[in-house]
Amino acid sequence: MNPASPRSLLLTVLTRTGPLLALILLVAIVSALSPDFRKTENFFNIANQMSFVGIVAIGMTWVIILGGIDLSVGSMVALLGGLGIYAMNAVAERSGSPAWGIAAGAAIMLLGGPILGAVNGMVVIWGRVAPFIVTVATMAAFRSIIMYNAEGSEIRSAVSSFADLGSGGFKLEFLHSSRGLPILLGFPTLFFLGAALVGELLLKKTVLGRRVYATGDNPIAARYAGVPVNRVTMIVYALSGLTCGLSALLNSSRLNSIASSSTGQMYELDAIAAVVIGGTSMTGGKGSVLGTVVGVLLLGVISNMLTMLGIPNYIQGLVKGCIIIGAVLIQRTQQR
């Protein structure tokens, strides 16, 4: 195994680019079929629309590399977003300052996330319950708490400036949409890409990251090798909660509300799909955040494409399913 040999170098490149290859292929095909799809602003839209589930998928990557799973993410986004808006509205009203309200709401979401994640982690570690069961249970429980409080309805922000975070962005003066307006690089996109970069660096360049891979690869061996498996597990579930908090913050700001029943629904499945498309192994020990980013974008391109090509509603699921399987197959052949 000489790392410098051309053959292994080629293999590494292909493994790394497997999901990317699928994405490029799909974008090329759809671009050829639909001139509207090719519009610059469309790609920015896709990235921005996928940011909310994308941020969650970063945490999910960590959890899956660890050998776990977190099905509670969607419910967590709804719960954190809802509680945050309650706090924001209350503080803004008492203090008369929207800024304090937003700070309080953001604090609840970003601090509450790791706490809820740690709850998952605790039951997994000390209850010795399979992560699948723990997070199925908390998925039901988190959703139920916020639906009970809101009686199933929407929780609305009373602070109008709060919406700027989710809907705003930087105007790219050098890029113009087909209507001649400067294109907006949305804050959610920036947070998504930023979080992905941090997530990838932490995973690849730190002791914690190496411990996550080791635990996911073989938890018993990792324990013998002196990895504090419990602590690592706790941190990873808390990080997953943190990404839910960030997603909740951007999502609630984007829609200026949280729908207690529907916000974050199916996030867990989209996130898991993105992680797997991105080349992370469901059995743990292998994978990368950058792959997940590609997986997220691929899912975004698929759902955008279904509308752009005018594919009838009822058949969209079939098309989506086939492309996902195709993407995973491309990625797998590259890995061999």
Partner 1 sequence: MLKLASIVVGLSLLAANHSLALVEPAAPAPEAAQPAKAKKPKIGVSVPAADHGWTAGIGYWAKKAMELHPECDWVYATASGPEKQIADVEDMMTKGIDALVILATESAPLTPTAKRIHDQGILIVNVDRGFINQEDEPAIADIFLEGDNKAFGCKSAQFVAEKMKKENRTNLVILTGIPCTVDTDRVTAAKEVFAQYPEIKILDTQAAHWNRQKGLEVMQTLLTKHKKIDAVWAQDDDILLGAMQAIKEAGREQEMFIVGGAGMKDVVKMVMENHPMVPANITYPPSMIATGIHMAASAMRDGKKAEVLQFMPKHLMMDVELVTPQNAKQYYFPDSIY
The yes or no reply on residue 8 touching partner 1 (CB under 8 A) is no
To the nearest 10°, report the CA torsion of 254, 317, 78, 198.
-70
Q: List the x/- string, 97-116, binding to partner 1 by CB under 8 A.
A: --------------------
Q: Which of 39, 210, 286, 320 binds partner 1 (CB under 8 A)?
A: 39
| Residue 323 CB, nearest approach to partner 1 (Å) | 17
Binding to partner 1 in span 177-216, by CB under 8 A: 178, 181
DSSP H stretches of helix in the chain: 6-33, 40-65, 73-95, 98-126, 131-150, 163-167, 187-205, 207-217, 219-224, 229-255, 267-277, 289-308, 316-335
CB-nearer residue toward partner 1: 35 or 326: 35
Which DSSP state fits 36?
A: T
| Residue 258 CB, nearest approach to partner 1 (Å) | 10
The yes or no reply on residue 65 touching partner 1 (CB under 8 A) is no
Which DSSP state fits 177?
A: -
DSSP annotation string for 267-312: HHHHHHHHHHHTT--TTSS---HHHHHHHHHHHHHHHHHHHHTT--
| Residue 288 CB, nearest approach to partner 1 (Å) | 27
Contact region with partner 1 (CB under 8 A), list: 10-18, 39-47, 129-137, 285-293? 39-47
In whole angstroms, give the CA distance from residue 60 to residue 90: 32
CB-nearer residue toward partner 1: 243 or 257: 257
The yes or no reply on residue 304 touching partner 1 (CB under 8 A) is yes
DSSP annotation string for 60-109: HHHHHHTT---TTHHHHHHHHHHHHHHHHHHHHHHHS-HHHHHHHHHHHH
The yes or no reply on residue 281 touching partner 1 (CB under 8 A) is no
Q: Copy the structure tokens of residue 93.
A: 């009203």
Residue 93 CB partners (closer than 8 Å, separation 6+)? 101, 158
Q: Which of 147, 242, 293, 302 binds partner 1 (CB under 8 A)?
A: 147
Q: List the x/- string, 151-170, binding to partner 1 by CB under 8 A.
A: xxxx------------x---
Q: Which of 15, 31, 261, 281 binds partner 1 (CB under 8 A)?
A: 261
The site for partner 1 (CB under 8 A) is made up of: 34, 36, 39, 41-42, 45, 49, 147, 150-154, 167, 178, 181, 251, 254-255, 257, 259-263, 303-304, 307-308, 310, 313-314, 316
